[in-house]
RNA sequence: GUCCCCAUCGUCUAGUGGUUAGGACACCGGCCUUUCACGCCGGCAACAGGGGUUCGAAUCCCCUUGGGGACGCCA
């Protein structure tokens, strides 16, 4: 069985997260079976299909690494072929001209609704033999077959049956000669050699119509798989207005592309108890057996966890690249601080996203730090003045500014003062970072750099002196 | 309104007639620890409801309820 899948989005400007998952499943399935993954841009709605939208879409897919195996096909370039097929259907008797005006159709539906019926084209031009009305440009409609039912064979849903009588004669070619979605979709899938159609659940009801068309054309239908929807965390439909709907939002927010893909893959698919997958593992594990049929909600907590798992194992240069962007985003200069790879290593297990890393590493890149008042009051007390001054002097005289040397220096100072390492660690941390949380203290000082460290220790000593002075004057007064 | 799809812990899910209903996220304890994380150990927590079928149903069938989708000269 040959495998050729496709992702066929209409270019609306953003890559919808649900669409990304659909693309991912198509891509994975093709990769898994050594087939091809194709991209077709359904840009026949010319108003919405701006060139920049198309470019954005292709780029977004690229950023997640979902590259198609052939040049993307623009559906708009195929209208001649679509017309050809429509006329072929006309000649074979599977289609006919319909001279209804849009107003007439609207009125017809209105009446049907009023009578409590399903709005449906009544086939009034189906068997017309008389002369066509003057001045009306006709559309070409498909002649729905008379057979009893159509059966959609779906990977997830099994055989889904539709009574033909519930379907009506759909428009193939508009009055202006442009093809409609069903025709274009069916013809393009056939010509592209698509064998597996993996798409959203919202297309399930379109499939019987497309199947009828395929049958009328004598073609072999592809396999179908209709994926359940992706819902917002509250269980509602993902709103296009919500930024969480935009796949690129997650990249901007400091998530790793592979982590997003991993998360998305596990939403509606599973492989035993495994939660964390590399792309390679996904390719070798992905299969339709693991697919689920029910809609699933987005869970930001789980995404964060998955992302952290990926941060822990990601190549350091991948981390650095993203980190650089995140630092710039919050107004810091990535070049004015410790080497990015050291920063990445220090925080890859301590933050959930690269944005989190940048935020936590702020003190290593900025010149001004803010002392957290609570932490300072608690830790920078008069009793630590002497030890802090001693370690400050020792650090100033250090030959090499490495984490190992810094560690040894602090340990020696602590020992000579007869206090524990921990007694020195926290005051140093608060002095250098402004707060009580950071990587191990030797790493922290290394990352701050000697200049910043000594400078800030000086400030901290001043802070303590001020406290001592205040206490003294309070005692006197 | 008609048709179609879906239904296991709060969330993602495993399960395919016989399990103490498993795992993961989140949450709550504890351990580790120079802070925070990571890691490890433990806890809380589910088969929507009602009928069948069967010696036996989360698993099969029907109904109800709930959620979602489709009914265009949009895609």
Q: Give the pLDDT of residue A184.
A: 96
Residue A348 CA, nucleotide B38 C1', distance (Å): 9
Mean pLDDT of the region A84-99: 94
Residue A430 CA, nucleotide B3 C1', distance (Å): 66
Nucleotide closest in space to A49 (CA vs C1'): B75
Nucleotide closest in space to A168 (CA vs C1'): B71
Q: What are A236-253's pLDDT values in tens digits? A: 888 888 888 999 999 999
Rounded Cα–Cα distance for residues A472 and A468 (Å): 6
**Of chain A residues 393-452, which have a beta carbon within 7 Å of strand B?**
407, 421-422, 425-426, 429, 436-442
Of the candidates A29, A37, A34, the one whose C-alpha atom is nearest the C-alpha of residue A287 is A29
Asked whether residue A207's C-beta has any atom of DNA/RNA strand B within 7 A, the reply is: no
Q: Give the pLDDT of residue A109.
A: 87
Asked whether residue A175's C-beta has any atom of DNA/RNA strand B within 7 A, the reply is: yes
Residue A422 CA, nucleotide B31 C1', distance (Å): 20
Higher pLDDT, A470 or A67: A67
Q: Give the pLDDT of residue A166.
A: 85
Higher pLDDT, A397 or A165: A397
Q: Give the pLDDT of residue A28.
A: 97
Least confident of A55-69, A102-116, A279-293: A102-116
DSSP A95-111: EEEE---HHHHHHHHHH
Rounded Cα–Cα distance for residues A86 and A129 (Å): 20
Q: Give the pLDDT of residue A213.
A: 95
Confidence of residue A46 (pLDDT cuts 50, 70, 90): low
Higher pLDDT, A405 or A109: A405
Q: What percent of chain A has pLDDT over 70?
A: 99
Mean pLDDT of the region A335-349: 96
Q: Give the pLDDT of residue A477.
A: 57
Residue A445 has pLDDT above 90, yes or no: yes
Are the beta carbons of A140 and A172 closer than 8 angstroms?
yes
Asked whether residue A121's C-beta has any atom of DNA/RNA strand B within 7 A, the reply is: yes
Residue A125 has pLDDT above 90, yes or no: no
C-beta atoms surrounding A7 within 10 Å: 24
Residue A275 CA, nucleotide B55 C1', distance (Å): 39
Residue A260 CA, nucleotide B24 C1', distance (Å): 16
Residue A81 has pLDDT above 70, yes or no: yes
Mean pLDDT of the region A248-266: 97
Q: Give the pLDDT of residue A368.
A: 84
Q: What are A268-313's pLDDT values in tens digits? A: 999 999 999 999 999 999 999 999 999 999 999 999 999 999 999 9
Q: Give the pLDDT of residue A312.
A: 97
Are the beta carbons of A118 and A112 closer than 8 angstroms?
yes
Residue A130 has pLDDT above 80, yes or no: no
| Location of structure tokens 């966890």 | A305
A236 as an active site residue: the answer is: no
CA A304 to chain centre: 13
Q: Give the pLDDT of residue A47.
A: 66
Asked whether residue A148's C-beta has any atom of DNA/RNA strand B within 7 A, the reply is: no
ipTM associated with this complex:
0.94
Rounded Cα–Cα distance for residues A380 and A234 (Å): 45
């Amino acid at each position: 069985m040959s495998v050729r899948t496709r992702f066929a989005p209409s270019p609306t400007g953003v890559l919808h997260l649900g669409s990304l998952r659909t693309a991912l499943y198509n891509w994975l399935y093709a990769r898994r079976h050594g087939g091809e993954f194709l991209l077709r841009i359904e840009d026949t709605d010319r108003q919405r299909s701006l060139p920049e939208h198309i470019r954005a879409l292709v780029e977004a897919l690229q950023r997640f690494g979902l590259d198609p195996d052939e040049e993307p096909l623009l559906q708009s370039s195929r209208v001649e072929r679509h017309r050809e097929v429509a006329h072929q259907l006309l000649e074979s008797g599977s289609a006919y001209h319909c001279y209804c005006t849009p107003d007439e159709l609207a009125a017809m539906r209105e009446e049907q609704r009023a009578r409590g019926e399903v709005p449906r084209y009544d086939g009034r031009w189906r068997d017309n033999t008389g002369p066509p009305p003057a001045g009306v440009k006709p559309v070409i409609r498909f002649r729905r077959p008379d057979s009893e039912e159509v059966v959609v064979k779906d990977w997830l849903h099994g055989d889904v049956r539709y009574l033909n009588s519930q379907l009506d004669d759909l428009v193939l070619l508009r009055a202006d000669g442009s093809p409609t979605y069903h025709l274009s979709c069916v013809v393009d899938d056939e010509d592209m050699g698509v064998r597996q159609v993996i798409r959203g659940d919202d297309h399930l009801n379109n499939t019987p119509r497309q199947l009828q068309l395929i049958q009328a054309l004598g073609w072999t239908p592809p396999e179908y798989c209709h994926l359940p929807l992706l819902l917002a965390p509250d269980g509602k439909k993902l709103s296009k207005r919500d930024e969480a709907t935009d796949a690129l939002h997650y990249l901007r927010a400091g998530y790793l592309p592979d982590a997003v893909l991993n998360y998305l893959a596990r939403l509606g698919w599973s492989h035993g108890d495994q939660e964390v997958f590399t792309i390679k593992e996904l390719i070798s594990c992905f299969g339709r057996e693991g697919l689920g049929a029910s809609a699933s909600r987005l869970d930001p907590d789980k995404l964060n966890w998955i992302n952290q798992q990926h941060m822990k194992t990601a190549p350091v240069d991948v981390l650095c690249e993203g980190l650089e962007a995140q630092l710039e985003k919050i107004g810091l200069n990535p070049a004015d601080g410790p080497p990015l790879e050291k920063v990445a290593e220090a925080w890859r297990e301590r933050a959930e996203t690269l944005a989190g890393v940048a935020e936590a590493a702020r003190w290593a890149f900025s010149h001004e730090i803010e002392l957290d008042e609570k932490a300072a009051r608690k830790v920078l007390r008069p009793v630590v003045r002497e030890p802090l001054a001693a370690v400050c002097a020792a650090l100033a005289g250090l030959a090499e500014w490495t984490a190992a040397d810094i560690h040894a220096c602090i340990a020696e100072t602590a020992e000579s003062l007869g206090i524990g390492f921990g007694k020195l660690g926290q005051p140093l941390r608060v002095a250098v970072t402004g707060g009580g949380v950071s990587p191990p203290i030797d790493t922290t000082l290394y990352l701050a750099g000697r200049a910043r460290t000594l400078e800030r220790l000086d400030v901290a000593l001043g802070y303590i002196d001020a406290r001592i002075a205040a206490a003294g004057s309070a005692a006197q007064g």
